Each structure stands twice: as structure tokens, then as C-alpha cells.
Structure 1
Amino acid sequence: MKVRRTGTAIVVLPCLVLLGISALAGCGPDEGAELGSDQLTGVWQGTGGGTVRFGTDGRFEMSGIPRDAVVFSFSDPPPGDGRLSGGGEWELAGGDGTSGTIELGFDAGGSFADDSEATVLQVKEAGDRPVLYFDTDADEAYGYEVRRVTSG
């Protein structure tokens, strides 16, 4: 049996490699994704029951967020069973009406002994089904994700 070699393999292989790279790129954060205040307000939920509620008044409440999912400067570990709760004020970074970063400033209460803690949420995906994540590594765009379950 004779096997004929053609140029098909030369064309198909690079195409498959490019498709694979494109698919992997689609798995990461949506580069430049931003949300406005009206898109942010409502209830967001993560795996294991972690919840963040953003109010139209610039206030937020969170509960059940895994302690290791958020980077803080706690001098002592926060109280609790490995889950954080608390609230405070939120704002979009940059002040342009939309942003890919949401800044959270915590009040004293819940897991927070005082009002010195702050963190950020990043926008992973915008659009009809937005996703936010607590950024735990400045070099890698990933962290504990929350998805909007109710708006307003």
C-alpha cells in the first residue's frame, strides 16, 4: 500500500495550533472588560455559597467568602471558620463611570476588627452574564469568582 503525502498536513497543523491558542485565550479574563454601576448592583454568588451584595448607595455586604480567596493585610488571622463576612463601601476605580476594577473598603464588624482593610474585585467577563473575581495574584488574572444572580 502506498501512502501519498500532500501539503494538507502542512496547512492543517498550523490551523489546529491557532485554534487551540484561541480557545485557551477565551478561557481567561475578557481583556478590557468593564462594568458600570448599574451593572454591578445586585447579588453576586460564588461556589460554596459566598455572596456579595452591591447596593445602589455605594454600600456592599458580603458573607461566606473563603478567607484564602481575598488578599488582606490582617496582622492577626480574622475570626471565623475560614469564611469572611462584612461590609463597607464600594466604588469603581478610575471614576469614569465604568471600570474593570471595583474597590472595596471595609467597615469594622463581621470578620473585620477595624476599618483599615480594603481589597479589589476585577471584572473577568462583562456582558449579559458578568463575572467578577477577587484578585489573589497580581501576576495572574484569577481568583475566587462571583457571578451576578440578581440585579438592582
Structure 2
Amino acid sequence: MVAAVPALLLGGLFALDSCGAGKADELSSAQVDGVWKGSGGGRVEFDDDGRFEMSGIPRNAIEFGFIDPPPGNGRLSGRGEWSLVGDDDRSSTIELRFDAAGSFSDDSESTLLQVEEAGDRPKLYFDTDADEGYGYEVRREAASTPAGH
């Protein structure tokens, strides 16, 4: 029984460390701001004022929060508001709330983007299956540097 106590403590510390490991896959608002591009011309631009605009995102790449997603199987465009989910400082989930414009006939739709990778080349994906954790991926475009620098 005494030998089991250190094993349980070690297991508990490992579990706590594993929970902290997820923090590496979170982004701050400043890290989200900018242009993100995916395959086939998909593009999402996040502004620091909490607005976004997207274009060329495959229709089947988005799982919508409500019951009337835009029809068809083509590519979507739209704009609206974005926010980090859960924590105002850092999160592994970004919510997009669409305005009535582009592919969206009203402002009742929303969807989620998940952080797949943080770091120097962060990657997001549209969450199409909560059980599987995959979807259409977009990568942050590298910040351009002024000519001559």
C-alpha cells in the first residue's frame, strides 16, 4: 500500500503536467490577428477590433452552430465578429459569428476554429467533427517585412 502512494502521486503530477501541455496550443488575440490561408484559396483575415472576413472556404469545411447553414457545396464568403472562447487572454478555440452578408442570409450562424499548432507557424482548423478533431486548415501568413530590411 505504501508503494502505491508514490505511484499515485507521480500519476497525479503527470496528469497535471498533461493538462498544462495543452496551454502550448493556445493563442492570444494578438497572435490571431492577421491573414490566414488554406489550400485552394481559402482565406480568413482577423482584425484586432474583433472583426473578421473570410472567402474561398469550402462549404463542407464548416460545421455550423445553428440549423440553417448556407446551401450548396461550393465555397463560402462572409464577415462578422470573432472572439476567443472561454478566456479573454488565450484560448485554443475561436468563435466566428457571421453577419448577414456574403453567403449568409441572416446573422444567426456561428462556427468554431480550433488551434492545431501554436508557435512560429500557427495552424487553425474549422471544427467539422467534435469527436475526431479535424477540418479545413488555415495557416497564419508570415508578416511581411518592409523592403530593404
What TM-score bracket applies, with the shorter chain setting the length? 0.7 to 0.9
Higher relative contact order (CA closer than 8 Å, sequence separation 6+): 1
How do 1:1-152 residues align onto structure 2 when only pairs under 5 Å count?
31-32=22-23, 33-72=25-64, 73-75=66-68, 77-78=70-71, 82-151=74-143
| Identity fraction in percent | 66
1:89-116 superposed Cα distances (whole Å, 9 cap, x missing partner): 0000113400000010000000000000
- For normalisation by structure 1, the TM-score amounts to 0.75
- For normalisation by structure 2, the TM-score amounts to 0.76
Q: Which amino acid in 2 is paired with 1:136?
A: T
Q: Which amino acid in 1 is paired with 2:135?
A: G
SS in 1 for 2:40: helix
- Name the count of aligned residue pairs: 122
Structure 1 gap ranges (5+): 1-29
Structure 2 gap ranges (5+): 1-20, 145-149
Q: Which has the larger radius of gyration?
A: 1
CA 1:76 to 1:47, structure 2 compared with 1: closer, same or farther past 3 Å?
A: closer
Tell me the CA shift for residue 141 of structure 1.
1.1
Distance (Å, rounded) in 1 between the aligned partners of 2:84 and 2:108: 19
